[in-house]
Structure 1
Amino acid sequence: MTPQSSTSRRRPLRTRHAAAAGLAVLTAALTACSGGGESSSAEAAEKPQIKVNLSGKQAEAGKPVKVSLADGRLKKVTVADDKGAALPGKVSANGTTWTSERKAAPGTAYKVEATTAEGGSAKSSFETAAPEKVNKVTLAPGKNTTVGIAQPLSITFDNPVRNKAEVEKHLKVTTSNGTEGSWGWIKNYDGKDRVDWRPKEYWKSGTKVKLDARLNGIDSGGDDWFVRDYATNFTVGKSQVVKVNLDSKTATLTRDGKTVKSLPMSAGTPGGDKASWGGTSVLMSKEGTINMRSETVGLGDSYDKMVDYSMRLTWSGMYAHAAPWNASYFGNTNHSSGCVGMSDGNAGWLYGQAQIGDPFEVTGSGSKGVPDPGNGYGEWNLSWSDWQAKSALA
């Protein structure tokens, strides 16, 4: 990306349309390979020229680059930025035009090189206007990770996304076994725009997943531009589920559909704000020993504790963790402030077995409903058709 030397030399994107309106004509004639002798001025004038739809140093970003030839046939066209990264593109069937498959990114200098079937060549260059604002993203899960069967692909945006359909078109998910899934747009718990890709059903163990977010040069809306691509990849680990039963007061780890161990526990106190969330939540992070304070989840000053083996299930503060102070309630009474509490030994065992992305399925009476899709990874509480409807391309 070429830095902007001064505001007087670089107009913002919203005012640069006039600068990009004209076609850039390569006035240097294509040089034909020939045996000797000088060409007359008349012959030089007859040599073909190419045109580029973007020109100057304030060219409009977010458009494909188009190179056209009045006479003859294009053989090869290269449009590369100042770091050497080329825009992929194709020559038309009649050989007169080449169009890039990707769009020109903002604040980027490009060099154009073209050769013809007749042996001619020409070069040109242009530079796109710098963006007024840049939109960035946070991806989950991270690269080269192993996750549980309920982990979605999740993209959270720094700035609002108004062109949701356009952005979604440039998100490509590839799986090793053709897993069916869909993007869905939701609000993250902090109010930011977020789009998740959830499979129709839980992932199959061993599935390899890759995301290519080809966003460089895409306008997210409101003059917020993406100026780079993003990617992540992960592998689905063991097929296991933690089943939390509010009626039996147990948390049971199952693997490949078989019970591994059932642990007595005490969940949230029914009938108010201290009740646990029901439905399906996903293990977001294993945070170890952390300080939990009731003020942070809107429960006044009822507790302030250092808590071991903490496993986060929602952004709003529901965890599974060790709760030795509640030992008399394990297996018989739900009497916590919303979390799934266990003995030190049982919590430590589950902490060691659980994977990021494992589903915690909470059933039984006394919950406060299901968490919103953006409160952690709550999209599993929606039917498949309701989730598909959240795609901007639905």
Structure 2
Amino acid sequence: MRNLKIIGILSLVLVITISGGVLASDLLEGEFRLISSYFEYYDERHPGLTAELDLIFKKASWSDEFLFEINAEGDLKNDGFNCKLGEVYYKYYGENFDLAVGRQLLSWGTATEFNPTDNINPVIEMGFFADKEPIPMVQGKYYLDNNYTLEGVIIPYHIATIDGIEMDDTHIKADPVPDKMENSEYAVRLSAKGINGFDYSLSFMHGFEDYPTIGIKETPFGPLPDPANIYYREYNILGADFASSYEGIGFWGEAAYYMPDEGEDYYSTVLGADYKFENGLYLLGQAIYRKDQMLQKNTLLQGAVEKSLAQIHTMRTGLVYNLDTEGIMLQPELELSLSDTVTLNINYRYIDGELMTGGIPDNIPGNILMGSNLMENSFQAKLVYAF
């Protein structure tokens, strides 16, 4: 029944779009993706085949903006279908302030892919470079002058990445954070642009962790995990970042310090730089040092080499190397521009060794680096149509 309702909504959207003619085409934008993925654990099976559709209705003027996004995904092999809301918000532009209300996705930080200060939205699944999930919030910006901006965010209730843990082949749910006013999450950020050639920001957030913590109980055999006490810790986060450039070299830094109400503090830092040569060759590199919620320490080097081909195609190779475990990931990819609106992306991911210290905890579903299938070598072809 739920899928029938979703299909009905999508059908209504398409009817309105088609019947609206030119006006609707000005309001509607989006992207269709046809993805074929093959992972090492597939053995000799055929690659998976999925289709994804993002529909965005957007109307903006000098004084306000309205956006409504729908994300649909279908498994073409198993006839599976899933549809959910993306961002849905209304934003008002005042003389020296902005105010947005609704389901939003905010991005804080200056580093590439991994941003320690970007803690407003929970990740969709456990992942070091994982995508974030839009959530309901109230967000406002006040422009103090041409250089300084004060930003505030209020999140009415906690939304976790995962709702529990796996223990002895049993899924045990964590105690959710009670939906009370006193448990609302909030964050503030003071950012500056063009101050002696630097952009920087200072931030503070109060909320609850995205991943649950297993309580400890005292027993005659010593302290042991308590499956009856799985919960989300309350914490504060202090963050800072900067970005600048010198003679064509861009550089940045970012750090966050996490202070849970119980247990040990943890932190993440990033330093990076990039440069683009006259022949179009682009180099990027950054160093990441991280002590995570589970107190695992990792020192990573991340890099990329990118080169344009015939000015419309792109060849890129990404690298992640763990100095502690000597684990490595290489990901060469090729993006071909087939037309003004259609691209074909082909990439191969090679993994050797352990990418993160301690590996994947047995009681945490998913992965702790870049997504649920990162630990396997994989090949993917993706056809994208943007409209």
Task: Report the TM range for the smaller structure's normalisation.
Answer: under 0.3
TM-score (norm 2): 0.20
Q: State the TM-score, normalizing by the size of structure 1.
A: 0.20
Question: Which one has a larger percent strand, Structure 1 or Structure 2?
Answer: 2
Larger Rg: 1
